[in-house]
Chain A
Amino acid sequence: MASVGIIANPAAGKDIRRIVAQGRFVPNNEKINILKRVLAGLDAVGVESVLFMPDSGMLGRGALDGSNFKFETEFIDIPVFHAEEDSTRAAAHMRDRGVGCVITLGGDGTNRAVAKDLAEVPILPISTGTNNVFPSMIEGTVAGMAAGLVSQGVVDVRVVATRSNKLELKLNGDVKHIALVDLAVSYERFVGARAIWDMSTLHEVFLCRAEPSSIGLSAIGAQLKPISLGDGGGVHIEFGDGDGSVLAPVAPGMVLPVKIKSWQALNAGDSTIVTLRPSTIALDGERTLSLKPSDSASVTLSSDGPLVVDVNKTLRAAAELGHMRD
């Protein structure tokens, strides 16, 4: 049975950047509208089953309210704590249930949580967060159609999906966290309100995506070494005086010169030890953990990230097959 999983994060896009920068605000009724369009796309191409993360109950149920879709729906039975781990647990459950694709609504953080245990299931990320690089601003209807086509095997996933890089944070010998775009080391001692907006608090950043048209840390790296999805490689930047500066959009509505002390390109497998203490590690722009003085920490660039569905490639491949013609 061709099935698709949906993981929609109701908390995405509500962080402190709405005060310190002109962060975009996406209300949940708009997320429900996006989901309605996604579901219409899934239904139109004949998906038979849609699994929802229960945390998105208000979003998923809102989108299904008053609808009459042909597919079966299920809110999966996992414990819900309204926290990031919900997304990771939901993704693993959907993987085990054999979904052909997982659609996410959220930002880089949501996708990081989903990608952690998704293995070979392709992901189709729709952006509803703040400084998004990993998910795309994409119309829900066509996103739903593309996910449906991938899940049914109409198109070859090896052709229409691209494998992402990821950054692995090894703590005291074990890989404890991943990042899909950037991993920054901050001078701040505490996680606090999580987001990073003051570049003077940063010591260094590792990037596996450096998109010139993005916002945030990725945009800084793009001025030194642009890296798009599928390009491979990464970049490591140390901030401070030494090697000039780059002008970059560091947050919504904030374009600032950022001082570069040094930088170097990274290849898959390259590993760097994080020596700064006290410090905080930020994953995809969100401070996540404080490093203890006794922690040994290193960052490794991996080419084994999640498979990301390209909506345009998918619909084009389906069109070339004449799949939608009668």
Chain B
Amino acid sequence: MPEGKELYMLQLRRMMLIRRFDETVQTMVQSAELVGMAHVYIGEEAVAVGACTALRDDDYITGNHRSHGHPISKGGDVRRAMAELLGKATGYCKGKGGSMHLADFDIGILGESGILASALPVAVGAALGSKMQNNDRVVVSFFGDGASNQGACHEAMNLASVWKLPVIFLCENNQYAVTTSYRDTVAVENIADRAVAYDMPGVLVDGQDVMAVYEATVQAVQRARDGGGPTLLEARTYRYEDHSEGLNRILREPYRTEEEVARWKERDPIKLHSAWLIEQEVATQEEIEAVRNDVRQAIEDALEFARQSPYPEPEDLFTDLYSDPLPAR
């Protein structure tokens, strides 16, 4: 596990990779190179990166519709991710999944789903497997404030607590489910408050501070590995862009003030982390710019790789739908 400067710079790099990846996605949607839904993670990078840098490679994550930040944070390959978005055969799901289905079992990325809260029971299942196999792996399940109101969320948290499973429920509370403030739809001020009903610790953490999320996740992971059971972490964060690309074209009226957006942008996770690295003399401005340039190159390379890759062949349409051989009944 990296620590010290190696950890801090890895966090910076992964946050920048997500930002650049999703800025590129925005451009691709605008130019119609990328079709279909795309939900960018810009503004929330510290949550996934803080959490995933507290995990081992063999630990698991599950994600949701805002689906690019989680796998990149876990060390996913931006080339295969970009190829998947463009529906290419070299993509993570051979081009059949698209933006909301990036998975890499080799590094514990169990995948995402566009159905709100549907990945939470999957995470609980993975945690049950980990406990039954006694293999010390923990699961972090990312979900949003909107998903926190789904029935599957309740079922997953309850069962995880009953069986004391090694899972961390990480609510990325970006405060709006599409355009609806969580303050209008969640009965408690903090989603972390709900933990008490599941007899697990509930912790509220600053989702714009990568080290805050990292530190809280380290402790929750330790508790899970020690057999202490699940934890509910709520990272209070903010989505700088609209829920999905193109949504602004159909919005009738603003759902948040310019002042609010500006205030959260002042707490940009990449700017905060970069400023801290410089102030603490951990890294120089030049080193940070070098990471930025390297990231820019990596995303350009990923885009080029994706563009040059072939589409899947029509005859592959029905491959990979079922495991082969089928599990015995």
Contact = CB atoms under 8 A, between A and B. Distances in A.
Contact of B211 (A16, A19, A25, A190): A190
Interface stretch (A65-73, A162-170, A191-199): A191-199
Interface in B197-220: 201-206, 209, 211-212, 214-216, 219-220
Given A27-B196, A292-B280, A193 B205 contact: yes
Interface stretch (B29-37, B146-154, B182-190): B182-190
B300 to A, nearest CB: 32
A273 interface: no
Contacts of B131: none
Given A14-B193, A19-B223, A194-B212, A189 B202 contact: no
Interface residues of B, number: 34
Nearest to B281: A293
B189 A191 contact: no
B315 interface: no
A55 B289 CA distance: 39
Interface residues of A, number: 27
Contacts of A81: 260, 263
Contacts of A293: 280-281
A82 B236 CA distance: 10
Interface string A159-195: 0000000000000000000000000000001111110
A278 interface: yes
B279 A16 contact: no
B162 interface: no
A295 to B, nearest CB: 9
Contacts of B203: 14-16, 18-19, 193
A292 B205 CA distance: 24
Interface centre among A16, A58, A81, A278 (most CB of B within 10 A): A16
A16 B215 contact: yes
B6 interface: no
Contacts of B189: 10-11, 28, 58-59
B280 A28 contact: no
A192 B215 contact: yes
A19 B219 contact: yes
A20 interface: yes
Nearest to A83: B263
Contact of B279 (A10, A15, A292): A292
Contacts of A28: 188-190, 193
A27 B188 contact: yes
A79 interface: yes
A25 B219 contact: no
A290 interface: yes
Contacts of A290: 276, 279-280
A190 B223 CA distance: 22
Nearest to A292: B279
A11 B192 CA distance: 10
B192 A14 contact: yes
A293 B282 CA distance: 11
Interface string A35-48: 00000000000000
Contacts of B282: 189
Interface string B10-41: 00000000000000000000000000000000
B237 interface: no
B15 to A, nearest CB: 15
B316 interface: no
B190 to A, nearest CB: 6
Interface string A1-36: 000000000110011101110000101110000000
B259 interface: yes
A19 B216 contact: yes
A224 to B, nearest CB: 30
A280 to B, nearest CB: 10
Interface in A214-242: none
A293 to B, nearest CB: 6
Interface in B63-98: none
A59 B193 CA distance: 14
A292 B219 CA distance: 27
Interface centre among A20, A82, A191 (most CB of B within 10 A): A20
Interface string B261-293: 001000000000000100111100000000000
B197 to A, nearest CB: 9
Contact of B190 (A11, A79, A193): A11
B99 interface: no
A79 B282 CA distance: 36
Contacts of B193: 14, 27-28
Contact of A19 (B212, B231, B260, B281): B231
Contacts of A15: 203-205
A16 B183 CA distance: 23
A213 to B, nearest CB: 25
Contact of B216 (A11, A16, A27, A278): A16
Contacts of A193: 203, 205, 212, 215-216, 219
Contacts of B236: 82
Nearest to A31: B189
A79 B259 contact: yes
Interface string A80-119: 0110000000000000000000000000000000000000
7 contacts: A11-B189, A18-B203, A19-B216, A79-B259, A191-B212, A290-B279, A290-B280
Given A189-B280, A293-B280, 11 more contacts: A14-B204, A14-B234, A16-B203, A16-B219, A18-B195, A19-B231, A25-B202, A27-B188, A58-B183, A81-B263, A292-B279
Interface of B: 183, 188-190, 192-193, 195-196, 201-206, 209, 211-212, 214-216, 219-220, 223, 231, 234, 236, 259-260, 263, 276, 279-282
